[in-house]
Amino acid sequence: MAFSLFGGNEHLHHIDAEQDVAKELFALLTEARTLYLRDVVANGKLYFRYAEDFVSSHRFIDCDRVVCRNCHEMNIHIVKGLLNDRIHLVRELFAAEDFSFEKCMELKRMYDTSASPPIVSRGNNHQEVPPLSFGCNFTRKQMIGITACADTYHLFCVSPLCVEDMEALFACEEGFQLRVNNIRYVAILFDALLEHSLIRSKWQAVLGGRQLLQTKDGNGFVSASSLSSALSAMRSNMTSAAYGIRRAVSELKEWQ
């Protein structure tokens, strides 16, 4: 009696050895890659929606053996962690022509040996501190609008700026940075997004803590305090470009 991962049970076997666990993880990542290339790359599905849907649709298996179910639960937990916390690395792997079992196991080793979110103690309870994030869920049209705004007002030293760049920024992809061209306009953009409840508060801490923005000279990272100072300076001396950024962001609410 074999168990089913993806809707069939032919030629699949119970998990009886460590190698079987690795093979199942590879099968999950292979399926995740196929759906990523189809849904996200080809059809423009939001990455986070894809990741959530994939984990939800692969959580259970057609097997009653405790060992198989436990190993699958462990593997789907790993896949969830990779899709949510190692987005930049996952996208590189899924886009590579040499996608292989060895590459997947290398990614898993990196996942196993990298730092996890810090643990804080509250009395007798222990909680994981959630990673810094913007808590946003933009539609594809909204993301295109944000990208166009950032490109029009030359917020970053990238020309032309692409939607994938902004998706990576708002997803806080590990290892991803954008070099800032005008820090005051960047601050106005994020302040406007907060004003319209499109991102969470403390966006300065997210950008600074995640080191998502490089300074204009490329020799360092933009800090939260620098963003706060830039926003204060911009508010006291608003320009036509700053008003244009705010106006562009106000239109995003209509595109939800």
Cβ-contact 198, 252 below 8 angstroms: yes
pLDDT at 17: 59
Residues 154 and 230 in one domain: yes
Asked whether residue 156 falls in the same domain as residue 248, the answer is yes
CA gap 222, 227 in Å, rounded:
7
User: Which pLDDT tens digit goes with each residue over 228-239?
Assistant: 999 999 999 999
Before 118, cis peptide (omega within 30)?
A: no
Which residue range(s) make up the domain with 205?
Answer: 140-255
Q: Is the full-model pTM beyond 0.75? A: no
Residue 241, both tokens: 């470009």
pLDDT digits (tens, 9 = 90+) for 100-118: 999 999 988 888 876 544 4
Average pLDDT rounded to a whole number, residues 179-201: 94
* 3 belongs to a structural domain: no
Say if 91 falls within a structural domain: yes
Pair (85, 144) in one structural domain: no
CA distances from 170 to 108, 135, 147, 210 (A): 24, 9, 11, 11
- Percentage of the chain surpassing pLDDT 70? 85
Asked if 149 and 233 sit in the same domain, the reply is: yes
How large a percentage of the chain has pLDDT more than 90?
44
- Note whether residue 145 is domain-resident: yes
Domain membership flag for residue 10:
no
Instruction: For residues 80 and 158, state if they share a domain.
Output: no
Q: Provide the strand spans (E) within 100-195.
A: 119-122, 125-128, 178-179
Partnered with residue 180 across adjacent β-strands are 156
Q: Are residues 157 and 82 in the same domain?
A: no
Residue 226 maps to a domain: yes
Last residue of a domain, one of 65, 97, 114: 114
Report the pLDDT value the prediction gives residue 46, as an integer from 0 to 100.
Answer: 75
29 plus 102 within the same structural domain: yes
| Distance, CA of 176 to CA of 43 (rounded, Å) | 23
Count of structural domains within the chain: 2
